[in-house]
Amino acid sequence: MIEATLCFPLRTISRGDDPTADGDDGREVLLIEKRRGLGEGWYNGPGGKCEPGETPQECAVRETREEVGLDVRDLEKAGELRFLLDGEVHTFCHVFRTRSFTGEPTPSEEARPEWVPIGDVPYDQMWEDDRLWLPGVLEGKTVRGEFRFEGGEPLDEAAFVDHDLEWDVSF
């Protein structure tokens, strides 16, 4: 089983008196367009596999720095997601969000970062499960979820079959 993380940096930008501004109140999330590996070509949060001896928080901080050059702090645990492939747990993923960070998002070989208004998150270009749990995470909720895929490796080519979700959980 792979232990992995996702980190969603959040910010609120001022839109002034812009009459065309949408209903997000300027709230944005930093997404990446994945340039290689699992989920290549799709949007997701920065993140990746935990290294031996590393806590999930340490992993999320390291991966966010490596992928987009942002130093995140004060991570808030927002979710625990289990991705099953053909009945076996393939990946256990810890989800974090934060409003504390320094640096400017910078592209890397692995990822192209993009600030996205939370109402414009491109769910049609993401893992199919994301639309089920990410909106709640971006609204400040906590979630525990199990998502079942079938069809063999790699996970990002398997069929998403069904899921269970529990909201407002404690970690």
Ligand X SMILES: Nc1ncnc2c1[nH]c(=O)n2[C@H]1C[C@H](O)[C@@H](COP(=O)(O)OP(=O)(O)OP(=O)(O)O)O1
Residues that bind ligand X (CB under 6 A): 4-6, 37-39, 44, 47-49, 83, 91, 93, 127, 129-130, 147, 155
Query: For residues 102 and 65, is the Cβ–Cβ distance under 8 A?
Result: no
- Burial (CB count <10 Å: 0-12, 13-18, 19+), residue 109: exposed
Least distance to ligand X, CB of residue 171, Å = 17
Least distance to ligand X, CB of residue 59, Å = 8
- Burial (CB count <10 Å: 0-12, 13-18, 19+), residue 97: buried
Least distance to ligand X, CB of residue 54, Å = 11
Beta bridge partners of 11: 28
Going by their DSSP bridges, the two strands 88-98 and 76-85 should be labelled as antiparallel
Task: Report the residue number, 26 or 76, with the smaller CB distance to ligand X.
Answer: 76
Query: At 61, which helix (H) or strand (E)?
Result: helix 56-68
Task: Report the residue number, 1 or 13, with the smaller CB distance to ligand X.
Answer: 1
- In the bound complex, which residue of the shown chain has the CB atom lying closest to ligand X? 48
Task: Report the residue number, 25 or 51, with the smaller CB distance to ligand X.
Answer: 51
Least distance to ligand X, CB of residue 35, Å = 10
